Amino acid sequence: MANETNSASSTAAPLLQVRGLRKAFGAVRATDGVDLALQKGEIHALIGPNGAGKSTLIAQLCGELQPDAGSIVLGGEDVTALAAFARARKGLSRSFQITELCPDYTVLENVVLSLLLTTGRAFQAWSNPRHDPTLTASAARWLGEVGLDDRAGIHVRDLAHGEKRQLELAVALARSPRLLLLDEPMAGMGAEESARMTALLNGLKRRYTILLVEHDMDAVFALADRITVLVYGKTIFTGTPDEVRSHPEVRAAYLGEEAC
């Protein structure tokens, strides 16, 4: 049974409330009655072994998959039936396991594109957003936020892997999200790049509400206010990092003795 412990002991309504979320593919229950609550301003990590249902859960939260049952409430509004683009307009932004950037555009132009999606504008022959000083100044600020201000004119294809993940974060932040879903932001990174990303995300604490899906346990325990453990589509425990480390069922199912 999940233990929905709120380390801040807040009585405020969660920014995100998931109840009884279910999704089956034939006989396989990818999510099996998932409950999840994120408080405003927290970093909440979602962990679990491969095949636990994490990607399916994230896809349902984003609107890429419709659940078979259950509800998703964002900011007090039921968004269960909304399409992905509609949820994005309500402040839900996502980064992916594999970077989804425009490789032939510059770093700055990728953030400008994100800003255009937020405002509903589009590229126009008579009004090139690359030359819009308001847009480019705003994009430059977001690059500074993630430590890429000196890479603005570089084409994305020429960036290192860790820099691409930093840019993806800037693209997501440029949409001014209420809720930021980060799907394995450390994937494919070396130790130095992971440490840099961990420090970057730590700087976003309390300023953004973040659901972090990550296999790097050092990063998870360094960043998360609370952690939910998903196994075989079910949430088996939610608690603080210390509570998760010491929970026998979590240790048996996922962490192992060496992580505790």
Residue 97 domain flag: no
Residue 96 domain flag: no
Instruction: DSSP for 74-86, please give it.
Output: ETTEE-TT--HHH
Nearest residue to 118 via CA among 78, 176, 164: 176
For 26, residues 6+ apart whose C-beta sits below 8 A from its C-beta are none
Domain end marker among 118, 152, 176 = 176
Residues 71 and 183 in one domain: yes
Residues 33 and 152 in one domain: no
Residue 119 domain flag: yes
Residues 75 and 141 in one domain: no
pLDDT computed for residue 260 by the predictor:
39
pLDDT computed for residue 128 by the predictor:
61
Residues 76 and 131 in one domain: no
Residues 233 and 109 in one domain: no
Task: Provide the domain count of the chain.
Answer: 2
Residues 136 and 26 in one domain: no
Residues 73 and 21 in one domain: yes
Residues 58 and 181 in one domain: yes
How many Cα neighbours within 13 Å face the side chain of 118? Answer: 19
Residues 107 and 87 in one domain: no
pLDDT computed for residue 126 by the predictor:
39
- Tens-digit pLDDT profile for the chain (260 aa)? 444 444 444 568 999 999 999 999 999 999 999 999 999 999 999 999 888 999 999 999 999 999 999 999 999 999 999 999 899 889 998 875 556 789 999 999 999 988 887 765 554 433 566 677 888 999 999 999 999 999 999 999 999 999 999 999 999 999 889 999 998 898 888 889 999 999 999 999 989 999 999 989 899 999 999 999 999 999 989 999 999 988 888 877 666 544 43
Reported pTM: 0.86
pLDDT computed for residue 132 by the predictor:
79
pLDDT computed for residue 11 by the predictor:
66
Domain end marker among 145, 176, 207 = 176
- Here the CATH number for the domain that contains residue 18 is 3.40.50.300
pLDDT computed for residue 116 by the predictor:
84
Coil vs helix vs strand at 245: helix
pLDDT computed for residue 96 by the predictor:
59
Q: How far is CA 35 from the centre of its chain?
A: 17
CA distance linking residue 33 with residue 230, whole number of Å: 11
pLDDT computed for residue 5 by the predictor:
42
What is the extent of the structural domain holding 70? Answer: 1-91+177-260
pLDDT computed for residue 248 by the predictor:
86
Residue 171 domain flag: yes
